[in-house]
Structure 1
Amino acid sequence: MSHAIGAPLIWWVSDYTLANESALIVGDDFGSIAKVKLESETGLKDIEIIQQNNQQLSVRLPATISYHSHALRLYQPDLKTFERVWLNAPKIDWLQGDMGVKTSTGQGWLQLSGKNVDTLNLQDAFLINKTGKSYSLSLKESDPWHAVFNLPKQIPVGSYQLKFGQKVTQPTIPPLEVFIVNQPTDFQQRVLNIKDFHQSEDSIDHTIAFKTALADLATHGGGTLYLPAGHYRLSNSLFIPKNTQILGDGNLATHLIWSKIDKQESIALINLEDNTRLQGFSMYHDDAAFGINSPSDRVINNVHIEDIVIRMSAYRGHPTSEMLTKIYDQILKRFSNKLDTIRLQANNITLKNNDIYGTGRSFAFIDSHGINIQNNKFYNGRRGWYSFSGCSEIIFRNNTITGADLMASGGGINTLGNKVSSRNLYFANNTLGMFNGWDREAFTSDGGGASYFGHVQSHKENQLLLATNLRSKGLRLTPYEGAVLFVVDGKGVGQYAKVISMSENLVHLDRKLDVALDNSSKIIICPLQENYIIVNNTISDAAIGIQLYGTGLNHVVYGNTSIRTGGINLLGLWYGGYQSAWYTLVAHNALYGSANTRKFNPTRTDLHTSNITVEARPRSTDELNLVYGIVIRNNQLYQNNGVSIIGSQNARKNMDAIFVDPLDN
């Protein structure tokens, strides 16, 4: 139905919601709503309104309904005019396949990630091409947050639309674009055996043999370098050419051992290019270096790392305390605490069934998109942490991350290094723990900085004229495509849009806002972090279990178990500029025990409680909604753990639309 004048506008709904649970609906013009009814197969049912004002409406679903998409009618006082809003309607945040974003091979897979995914007709999913021919997909698994399909074996290369059989009790979702491609490389086009290149019985060093074989593959456009079971000693870095696979007989059989490398040539043991694959061997080194690396000056494509064991430590042997201090200082000076066992800047990355232990950070992905990381073991070393920076479309599932040093920390996803955005993370069924160093954050978002906080001078369609010239404030203007604009106070509060471009004081948005802004409207423009689905993880022994620090939009924290951590934190704050935490569901998590703080305080005998904390930290007396649209319900809080809502004592307004259901938590 079309939107009626004076009818409420819907900007966010706190999906997903089960029977007898509360839902928060955020938007505009809810003040006149007189009654809410649920459309059902047996007719209309009255729904309890829990709280209501002009920007928000909270309701409770009946105890007898099943989980699927539900339509609510929001009635005006005449009890005839109504606006329909959907609960548990499917929302697909992104589509990812075995060849990256929206892309798969025949015989490959596709994963949908989002909210209420399993309310779709997943058993009737199909790809249809431009001629109208359709190919049915086989559902492998699904839950509210994702669905995985296997593709038919004989599907031709081309562009397709993914569609689903329509359910009557559900809004229609637009078709999703999918590309089917061939494998980029036939690694079997040329297969070389490393033993054919190492024929000197007098030398135990295989470096020349590896370089000769890799040069041969580079000359012929790629192929496979096969490493039979055995030990291969190396004294320099390896550079893997495009379209090349290094294949061993398994990580317990094939071993690569580096005595040293020429760090003027490379600081990594193995350097990758486009369309490269590493599989089935172990790597060893006793000095400070990267393990697996890609070029830092560009983004490569299609990297696959499987069944690899890495064991690297700069502290092996029997060093004296003076030697330990010297090694540690040299690492800090040269690598700035970013000594990475795996460091990649690539599109379409696959890591599976690996076991990664290094001196510093277990992995760092920079400006990478289409990342699939499953069934790995990662160990953070001294002052080590894991990092996704400026990345998007990430599946991180069934992995273990362990602090393997008393100074090891956790990690997370960020926009550090002036990244404009990080988006679309499916972080599920992982086990994280034993983080005793540094900030001790098992999972956190991060990335300071913002471009604008202030009033709007004028607004027309998708263009805003700011009240202050950006350059006069010394703020960064470009590149800013993909940043987010929040309306944090005044007319139109609660709306957001993405930035297409910015100039001196003119901002172009990706869409028209429902409510036009005026000079009472305050906005923030800052880096975007959105669509983090953090579900069903087990986290232990950390100062912070899960933290959304600064900019956050449309996140889900659901079904996680926290043991001896500081709990779950959501913060909107001044962090080199204002950053808002908006529209997040925190539900069905279990918090056990308490955690010591980041640093032990001998004057305290109590432990830091493991709470769910929502906090706004404005600068001085600035008035704005740093935290907005947060629902906390059905969490299990043990050993006197609880829920804390913390605002500023200096500012009159710094958060709104926060709903904590006392019947659930």
Structure 2
Amino acid sequence: MQRLFFLAIIIFYLPAFAQNTPQLFHVTTAATAPGETVLIRGEGIDLISKIEVGRLTDDRVDNSPPAYVPLPEPDHLPDSKGSRMIAGERMMPVDKIQQNEKSVKVIIPDALQQGVYCVRMTDNKGAVSGFYVNVPVVNWVISEDGYNAAAAGDVLRIQGKNLFRKGGSGQVVLVSNGKMFKVKVDSIYDDYSVKVTLPATIQQGKYQLFYHNGLGGKTAWSTPLTVNIVNKAMWSTQAFNVKTYGAKGNGSQDDTEAFKKALTAAHDGGIVNVPAGNYILSEGLVIPNGVMVKGQKGTVINFGPVAAATLISGADHFGLTDLTIRASRALGIIMNSGDGHVILERLIVQQDIGNALAELDSKWNKTGIQLKGHDIRVRDCVFKTAGMFSFVGVSGFIQRCRFEKAGGSVKTYMKIHPQGLIFEDCYKQTNGYGYGATINESYDLYEARNVTPFNYINDREVMTLDGGSGGYFGKVGGASGNRISLRKDGSTFQWAANKWIGGGLFIIDGKGSGQFRRIVQHTMDQIELDEPFLVQPDTSSVISITTIRDHLFFVNNTATDAGAFQFYGSAQNCVIAGLKMQRSAGIIGKGSYVNYGRQPNWYIDIVDCELSDGTYTPQVNQKDRFRGDQQINIIGSGHSGLNIGSLVRRNVLSGKSYIRVSPGGEVNDVQDAIIERNKVSGAKNGLAVYGVGRVVNNLFIHDNQFGTMDIQKALKAEGYQVR
């Protein structure tokens, strides 16, 4: 531990709220190399007269207090506590590409080496502002002791962007009340997730966590994230044994009563041990809070036909480990009804639905494995079941598991509503994968290195945000502080006071477009937001109230013989990176009018993916309207501004796979998309841009390889530029 005597807080520029000055909502945060493009998005961007770019020196930061330059965010006001921005070694003027009131693009000069870059902007009044490119961004952390929380000595997983840089050495600093703890990175999973071990001596309290990726010097730390250091969660170690209460485990005696007695005895918390054996149960088990049911090698629990809604249930704070569970005709397998804290480790769960398929399909949403709440840990399990795999409103870990669909149902699927979830190194084979919820926000997902071998059922989706909905669409009546009034002529759907608490209010057109905020409470015509907008909407502004899906990262996954991997409807600041896909529908980023909601798809990164063997052919005898060639497809339809700032970069497409931009019929459906440094081979046309007139606005096509296609000749739509 070191004592922190001075934390640099030298204000270089305060957020300028005055009119006629540039205001930034978003800049590119994806890893950006020399020769690649940075999008700058906001209001009054046409007032910028000069932009310069330079590389920061990689000074050592081991003995320096953390300092940072805040990045603009579309859902928050600017951070006013940042440090003075430092110019690069040699600041070089760059072209202002497609400059307009809302946006401009710049290319990092090829003459610069890979690193962290300073982007310095001067407006027409001589005022200077700017930001850094390739600085680390920490969105969230998680440990065994909670989301954005940890205990002394915990392993802490850190998720964000630009966490790993070749030649750099990542480190973390935690600061509280003048004390500073420095920690080196233990393991690097990829650019989006790393692991550190916290000091055993760190004390409880609130800390500011800073991250440095080793490049950029003393002011290139991440914007701090508040992390709670808490007491280590402890389970009672008092032991109970089912054989003490009469269980035989001989494969013939009904051991239900013995299990129930052991669980009752452990009702104040403890471990119920189940020695190796073959146990026959004829009723469902209810696990009390604080109880862990622990088997060992050779422990098998056989459930006969059970009338209970689920075989194993509990409210919260319970666990199952080292068990083989076999079930016949059961609908629910393992479910909880409380606020989480459920542990499933080293389980083998096998289900034979027999002739009960019709019954299962009639109750499909109440079947299978269904967990909800915080601190869910599912590890090293094998599930071969007929019902749902449902994880709703969950934070925690799902790791090294095998999910396999059994029983022939076409209605059950995997449902995931993340709120701080690591889902990695799993095998997933089921009837579809729906992410998100209708109203409540989905946020902070890191899903990595999972394998989907095929999906031949329904729409065959490998990942979809499952539609969502909408509450209000129309112009603003007025805005004051964090309160917005709605006009009576707006469109509503099942609109009721406070129904959309936890949803989002998006400015999709007019003044302030490209920003969103979260709804705290609302009446029929008045909305209270979590923060004011940086640029307040006015009567020209069009808003949409719909769900938020923020910081959902899908990294280095694999999918074969399946449908789309898609941000379908509302998605913000999300990533698909390193996806390997074969004979599937491809990757889609779709902002559109879905289920009565205008749902924005904003600031999405689709990077470093490989799409091969690109003909998407449904299984024989399966009805499928998505027959065609594999593609990366950027879609905006339903109103202006439903797809803003999509980045399609460094993807490799072969075997008829291609890139497509698909606006609807409204003006400016797709805005400020960047298609850059992609390699397409084997397709007749490597890029297709659809739409007539100004439906595509400021599309930038840069430094791609499209085989023999003459891109300038092939594209006839307006609103784009090719370099």
Q: TM-score, normalised by structure 2?
A: 0.81
C-alpha contact 2:332 2:387 (8 A) present in aligned 1? no
What residue number does 2:642 align with? 626
Residue in structure 1 matched with residue 45 of structure 2 by the alignment: 30
2:138–2:211 Cα contact (<8 Å) kept: no
| Structure 1 CA distance for aligned equivalents of residues 350 and 344 of structure 2 | 15
Per-residue CA deviations over 1:540-595 (Å, capped at 9, x if unaligned) read 11121x11111111111111111111100111121222111111111111111235
1:246 aligns with 293
Which residue in 1 is equivalent to 2:231?
Answer: 181
In the alignment, which residue of structure 1 is the partner of 2:8? none
Using a 3 Å threshold, how does the CA distance of structure 1 residues 345 and 202 change in structure 2: closer, same or farther?
closer
Give the equivalent residue in structure 1 for 2:601: 581
Q: Is the 8 A contact 1:70 1:170 kept in 2?
A: no
Q: Cα offset for 1:126?
A: 3.8
Counterpart of 2:374? Answer: 347
Structure 1 unaligned blocks of 5 or more: 316-323, 404-408
Preserved contact between residue 445 and residue 548 of structure 1 (Cα < 8 Å):
yes
Moved more, 521-530 or 147-156: 147-156
| Residue in structure 1 matched with residue 266 of structure 2 by the alignment | 217
Q: Which residue of 1 aligns with 2:328?
A: 286
2:548 matches 1:500? no
SS class of match (1:500): strand
1:354 to partner: Cα distance: 0.7
> Matched residue of 1:288: which SS?
coil
Write out per-residue CA displacement over residues 94-151 of structure 1, whole angstroms, 9 at most, x where no aligned residue. Answer: 2211122122233322222122234799754244454x44444352223321222112
* Structure 1 residues 364-386: Cα deviation after superposition (integer angstroms, max 9, x where no partner): 02233x22111111113422311
Correspondence for 1:321: none
Equivalence map 1:9-408=2 (5 Å): 9-16=23-30, 17-40=32-55, 41=57, 42-63=89-110, 65-76=112-123, 81-118=127-164, 123-130=170-177, 132-142=178-188, 143-164=190-211, 167-170=217-220, 173-186=223-236, 188=237, 190-198=238-246, 204-218=253-267, 221-250=268-297, 253-263=298-308, 267-295=309-337, 299-315=338-354, 327-333=356-362, 335=363, 337-338=364-365, 340-361=367-388, 363-368=389-394, 370-381=395-406, 382-383=409-410, 384-389=412-417, 391-403=418-430
Distance in 2 of aligned mates of 1:74 and 1:83: 5
Which residue number corresponds to residue 703 of structure 2? 663
What is the letter of the counterpart of residue 235 of structure 2?
Answer: T
**Structure-2 change in CA distance of 1:539 and 1:164 (3 Å):** closer
Distance in 1 between the 2:509 and 2:588 partners? 23
What SS class does the counterpart of residue 517 from structure 1 fall into? coil
| Correspondence for 1:465 | 485
Letter in 1 for 2:357: Y
Task: Give 2:14's aligned residue.
Answer: 2
Please report how far the alpha carbon of residue 256 of structure 1 lies from its aligned counterpart in structure 2 after TM superposition: 0.8
**Counterpart Cα distance in 2 of 1:492 and 1:421:** 22
Distance 1:292 1:452, change over 3 A: same
Indicate if the aligned counterparts of 1:450 and 1:527 stay in contact, CA closer than 8 A.
yes
The offset of 1:39, in angstroms, is 2.5
> Could you tell me which amino acid in structure 1 is paired with residue 261 of structure 2?
T
Offset of 1:625 from its aligned partner? 1.3
Q: Specify the code of the residue in structure 2 equivalent to 1:205.
A: D
Amino acid at match of 2:585: G
2:652 aligned residue: 636
Q: Which secondary structure state, in structure 1, belongs to the residue aligned with residue 383 of structure 2?
A: strand
Write the distance in 1 (CA, Å) between the matches of 2:578 and 2:293.
39
1:412 counterpart = 2:459: no
User: For residues 620-657 of structure 1, what are the alpha-carbon distances to aligned partners after superposition, in whole Å with 9 as ceiling and x for unaligned?
Assistant: xxx421111111121111112111111123x2342212
Counterpart of 2:585?
A: 566
Matched, 1:552 2:592: no
Distance in structure 1 (CA, Å) of the matches to 2:587 and 2:247:
59
CA contact (8 A) 2:143 2:156 kept: yes
For 1:320-364, what per-residue CA distance to the aligned partner results, in whole angstroms no more than 9, with x for missing partners? xxxx5xx3322222x1x3254310122110111111110122x20
Work out the CA distance in 1 between the residues paired with 2:579 and 2:219.
30
CA distance in 1, matches of 2:607, 2:619: 29
Structure 1 pair 467–397 and aligned structure 2 pair: CA distance change class (3 A): same
SS at match of 1:571: strand
Amino acid at match of 2:345: E
Supply the distance in 1 between the matched residues of 2:495 and 2:625 (Cα, whole angstroms).
45
- Tell me, yes or no, if the aligned pair for 2:334 and 2:369 is still in contact at 8 Å: yes
Percent identity (aligned): 23
Tell me: CA distance 1:473–1:145, structure 2 relative to 1, closer, same or farther (3 Å).
Answer: closer
Find the aligned partners of 1:350 and 1:472 in 2 and give their Cα distance. Answer: 39
Q: 1:522 to 1:601 in 2, by over 3 A?
A: farther
Change (3 A) 1:312 1:577: same
The answer (yes or no) to whether the contact 1:635–1:664 under 8 Å persists in 2 is: no
SS of alignment partner, residue 332 of structure 1: helix
For 1:247-294, what per-residue CA distance to the aligned partner results, in whole angstroms no more than 9, with x for missing partners? 1113xx21111112122xxx2111123321211111101213211111
The secondary structure found in structure 2 opposite 1:514 is coil
Question: What do residues 446-489 of structure 1 show as CA deviations (whole Å, max 9, x unaligned)?
Answer: 24321111011211222111112789875133232221111111
Question: How far apart in 2 are the matches of 1:163 and 1:493?
Answer: 31
User: How far apart, in 1, do the equivalents of 2:195 and 2:46 lie?
Assistant: 41
Aligned to 2:712: none
Q: Provide the rounded CA distance (Å) in 1 between the counterparts of 2:622 and 2:304.
A: 45
Q: Is the 8 A contact 2:546 2:599 kept in 1?
A: yes
What's the CA shift for 1:209? 1.1
Rounded to whole Å, the distance in 2 between the matches of 1:129 and 1:603 is 59
Within 5 Å, which residues of 2 pair with 1:389-538? 389=417, 391-403=418-430, 409-416=431-438, 419-468=439-488, 474-538=494-558
Residue correspondences, number: 623
Secondary structure at 2:632 match in 1: strand
Matched residues in 2 for 1:423 and 1:512: separation?
21
Deviation at 1:491, TM superposition (A): 1.5
User: 2: distance between equivalents of 1:516 and 1:606?
Assistant: 41
Name the SS of the counterpart of 1:214 in structure 2.
helix
Measured after TM superposition, the shift of residue 517 of structure 1 is: 1.7
Task: State the match for 1:318 in structure 2.
Answer: none
TM-superposed CA distance for 1:67, in Å, is 4.4
Report the secondary structure of 1:185's partner residue: coil
The amino acid across from 2:393 in the alignment is: D
- For residues 623 and 491 of structure 2, the distance between their equivalents in structure 1, rounded to whole angstroms, comes to 48
Gap change, CA 1:202 and 1:27, over 3 Å in 2: closer
Residue 198 of structure 1 aligns with an amino acid whose one-letter code is G
The separation in 1 between residues aligned to 2:619 and 2:240, in whole angstroms, is 54
The CA distance in 1 between the partners of 2:567 and 2:540, in whole Å, is 29
